[in-house]
Amino acid sequence: MRHLFEPRLVNDEFGDPALYVDFRDERRALLFDLGDIGALPPRKLIRLSHVFVSHTHMDHFAGFDHLLRVVLGRKTGIVLFGGPDFVAQVEHKLRAYTWNVVHRYEVELVIDAREIGVDGCGQRARFSSRTGFAREPCAPFDLPGDVLHEETLFRVRGRFVDHELPCLAYALEEKAQFKVAKDRLAALGLSTGPWLRDLKLAVLAGAPGTTPLRLRWRDRHGEHETTRRVDELREVVLDVVPGRRIGYVTDLRFTEPNLHTLTQLLSGVDQLFIESVFLDADRAHATRKNHLTALQAGLIARRLGARAVVPFHFSPRYEGRSAALAAEVHAAWSAAPIAPGDSA
Ligand SMILES: [Zn+2]
Ligand SMILES: [Zn+2]
């Protein structure tokens, strides 16, 4: 199955949290959290269309300057999402520099900063390089449920968890996956390729069957190109099944309200990226720091029915012992269900 997107952590488990999600067929990407992103080459940063920040502790937001420096003069726009006070924080970051020449750059950069309030209302402002990044207020926006961003093929949802401050946990959901019959495809003289994304777009958008689609793919015989109608191609799709869902969860306390929120956001998630900062032997310390232990992260993954779990955001105190943290997460995630009343 050709996936719409490929998520990958930017740093190792001890580095700053950041999840880069590549949409290979679209030459664009999303980023969850904006800590140290120096490991991402400029070409990958330039592909970013939207950045979703969980909260603005330094390890999640200090990469803003690096991103700005790379995209300035090269990219026309980027959308940044964050929690309470986020628009003001973006403005303060921009105010920290002198912008007396930037209005002359050939490529105008517009930063669209969007802030989610705990009351569910959205605030928004625009900052253009043409005006030295002066704040231009935009109309507040409503959030339909917990959907922060929606396109034809995917959506991003977010809900607040408690980290002694409101912190956004995110779900990235592909709306549908097509199961393709390889034999029917071969009978038509075709092979899978990026054109499947165009077919998906056409079908999900309800395009007429006569709509022509240009198909390009590459195999061992080289490059191929042909044009087919949507209704011809629809025959190769065996089934439309729910799309892949991934979760990005970091910086939170292990509390029942947080678990309830995550259940609403991420039940049955295919792949869960979750912080696992401390070993459970140091649980008292984790509680003081408003973070999860690895065991707690594993229990959350199990509660959610996550099909895969990727732990990250390990405390540097365990340098050289990452296997112990990962083992604790996986043991709790894969263990037999605990009987009600058992404490874990
Ligand atoms: Zn953190
Ligand atoms: Zn934090």
With a cut of 60, say whether residue 342 has pLDDT above it. no
Query: According to the model, what pLDDT value does residue 1 have?
Result: 60
Distance 186 CA to ligand 1 centre (A): 49
Distance 343 CA to ligand 1 centre (A): 27
Q: What is the pLDDT of residues 254-292, one digit of tens each?
A: 999 999 999 999 999 999 999 999 999 999 999 999 999
Q: What is the pLDDT of residues 6-29, one digit of tens each?
A: 999 999 999 999 999 999 888 999
Distance 71 CA to ligand 2 centre (A): 26
Distance 55 CA to ligand 2 centre (A): 7
When pLDDT is averaged across residues 225-237 and rounded to a whole number, the result is 86
With a cut of 60, say whether residue 200 has pLDDT above it. yes
Ligand (nearest to CA of 16): 1
When pLDDT is averaged across residues 161-187 and rounded to a whole number, the result is 91
pLDDT band at 337 (very low <50, low <70, confident <90, very high): low
Percent pLDDT > 90 in the chain is: 74
SS3 readout for the chain: CCCCCEEEECCCCCCCCCEEEEEHHHCEEEEECCCCCCCCCHHHHHCEEEEECCCCCHHHHCCHHHHHHHHCCCCCEEEEEECCCHHHHHHHHHHCCCCCCHHHCCCCCEEEEEEECCCCEEEEEEEEHHHCCCEEECCCEECCCCEEEECCCEEEEEEEEECCCEEEEEEEEECEEEEECHHHHHHCCCCCCCHHHHHHHHHHCCCCCCCEEEEEEEECCEEEEEEEEHHHHHCCEEEEEECCEEEEECCCCCCHHHHHHHHHHHCCCCEEEEECCECHHHHHHHHHCCCCEHHHHHHHHHHHCCCCEEEECCCHHHCCCHHHHHHHHHHHHHCCCCCCCCCC
Distance 29 CA to ligand 1 centre (A): 22
Ligand (nearest to CA of 17): 1
Query: According to the model, what pLDDT value does residue 341 have?
Result: 47
Instruction: Tell how strand 77-82 and strand 48-52 pair up.
Output: parallel
User: Could you give phi then psi for residue 51, rounded to 5 degrees?
Assistant: -125, 130
**For all residues of the chain together, what is the average pLDDT?**
93
Distance 32 CA to ligand 1 centre (A): 13
Ligand (nearest to CA of 59): 1
Query: According to the model, what pLDDT value does residue 128 have?
Result: 98
Contact status, residue 46 vs residue 28, Cβ threshold 8 Å: no
Distance 34 CA to ligand 2 centre (A): 12
Distance 302 CA to ligand 2 centre (A): 23
Ligand (nearest to CA of 290): 2
Ligand (nearest to CA of 166): 2
CA–CA distance, 209 with 235 (Å, rounded to integer): 11
Distance 294 CA to ligand 1 centre (A): 14
Distance 109 CA to ligand 1 centre (A): 29
Ligand (nearest to CA of 316): 1
pTM reported for the whole predicted model: 0.90
CA–CA distance, 229 with 192 (Å, rounded to integer): 16
Distance 263 CA to ligand 1 centre (A): 21
Cβ atoms < 10 Å from Cβ of 95: 14
